[in-house]
Amino acid sequence: MPTESGSCSAARQAKQKRKSHSLSIRRTNSSEQERTGLPRDMLEGQDSKLPSSVRSTLLELFGQIEREFENLYIENLESSHSTSQLSQKLKTTYKASTSKIVSSFKTTTSRAVCQLVKEYIGHRDGIWDVSVARTQPVVLGTASADHTALLWSIETGRSLAKYTGHVGSVNSIKFHPSEQLALTASGDQTAHVWRYAVQLPAPQPAADSSQLCGEDEVECSDKDEPDADADASSDCPTIRAPLTSLKSHQGVVIAADWLVGGKQAVTASWDRTANLYDVETSELVHSLTGHDQELTHCCTHPTQRLVVTSSRDTTFRLWDFRDPSIHSVNVFQGHTDTVTSAVFTVGDNVVSGSDDRTVKVWDLKNMRSPIATIRTDSAINRINVCVGQKIIALPHDNRQVRLFDMSGVRLARLPRSSRQGHRRMVCGSAWSEDHPVCNLFTCGFDRQAIGWNINIPALLQEK
């Protein structure tokens, strides 16, 4: 076929455009006529004396008015939708803002009732456990992975004595109920009983920690740990040998505690057993077997011959030695991961903490289910209960320490910022209810122990 010239092609395209434009106009006119069909029929059906040209103009004007109202109607619908969205956004923003205000108010209040008083720095490795002496003079004890245990002046923060008798990590420390004796458990597969004699230094004015309590929480790096080169324990007396060494375990001794009266001690080991010893003779009285995996903790009742042991097998067991002829055992199942500790409280209650991020309160008379469950956001380490006020201290893997009551109500979170608080995993806690300076102590793998002053009446009043 012959090809068209350029001018003919352009003319054809222009013609097609005009044709399509004419069709679109025609469609528009037809649709407008459909929309204005009702008024046109009404006008045509009436005996009007208006000229036809005027009537056509009126019909066109009616169509324009209808289109204007239609556009307004659509705009109103869109505006209504936008207003709804704006309203929802305002509600969400208001809710978030008020939540932040309430949260900041609670945080400020918690900081007012929970203040850091003293830091105890001197260990060269992480601190596994902390304990407070039950006899005069009242001192603080810490057990560390650096193979030592240190005794501290609570008021001044100075180390008073260092125990170096173990050749492995010191995993726990407990004080005798009536004598100046300490019981330590170690990774060297032994537990030691050793005597200490300390003289408390003159108290110094406490540093004002209120300025630190207003700091916002921030993430801290591991290199912000206390400087262990300034070794506070280098010039204190050293105790190098135990009075008694308790030997019979085939694995790490992870914890130890005094049985009521202080004549016997119980140990918990990674060899899946707990042992009961006569402290004076070092003889093994009972070997408590039954756990399927390594033990993690043991605790004794303050007034009765009861022992509770925790294990990685997700259970804890209650051992009853009140009747010399019968040593009954009860198994508590309720956790889904390692039970890191279980401790006695007032009455017939036991509180257990676990790597499953829960704490459960149990009644010894009903072992089937806990009477309260606390759910948290991090694994829980060695808990401790303020017996008089029934407050549970929860040390966490995520560097936080939280306080709850026995019914599971959260009371406070200890303040932590770039300038205070723990910088790594918090391993243990210990209450000293009657101490005028510090009534709660925590320790962690940042190589420091911390003394806190908890205003318990104000804390309970906020509940």
For 402-433, the pLDDT digits (tens) are 999 999 999 999 998 878 899 999 999 999 98
Dihedral of alpha carbons 102, 106, 107, 112, sign? positive
In Å, how far are 37, 67, 77, 79, 270 from 74, measured between CA atoms?
22, 11, 5, 9, 75
The answer for 225, left when phi > 0, alpha when psi is -120 to 50, beta otherwise, is beta
The pLDDT score that the predictor gives to residue 327 is 79
Domain boundaries, the chain: 115-196+235-462
Tokens of 150: 């240190």
Ramachandran area for residue 364 (φ above 0: left; ψ -120 to 50: alpha; else beta):
alpha
Please give the helix or strand (H or E) that residue 62 lies within, else none: helix 52-113
pTM score above 0.85: no
264-282 b/e with 16+ CB inside 10 Å = b?
bbbbbbbbbbbbbbebeeb
Task: Indicate if the pLDDT at residue 90 is higher than 70.
Answer: no
Q: Cα separation of 79 and 357, whole Å?
A: 49
The reported pLDDT for the residue numbered 276 is 97
pLDDT at 456 over 80: yes
pLDDT at 76: 78
Q: What is the dihedral of CA 140, 143, 149, 155, to 10 degrees?
A: -20
Q: Model confidence over 92-130: pLDDT tens digits?
A: 555 555 444 444 444 444 556 899 999 999 999 999 999
Q: Phi and psi (nearest 5°) for 72?
A: -60, -40
Distance separating alpha carbons of residues 264 and 93, to the nearest angstrom: 61
Count CB neighbours of 34 within 10 A.
Answer: 9
Return mean pLDDT, the chain. Answer: 83
* pLDDT range class, residue 443, cuts 50, 70, 90: very high
Span 371-391, pLDDT tens digits: 999 999 999 999 999 988 899
Measured distance CA(438)–CA(436) in Å, rounded:
6
Over residues 174-179, the mean pLDDT reads 97
CA–CA gap between residue 401 and residue 383 (Å, rounded):
10
Instruction: Provide mean pLDDT across the span 353-367.
Output: 93
Q: How far apart are CA 407 and CA 104, in angstroms?
A: 24
pLDDT of 69 over the 50 cut: yes
Q: What is the CATH number of domain 115-196+235-462?
A: 2.130.10.10
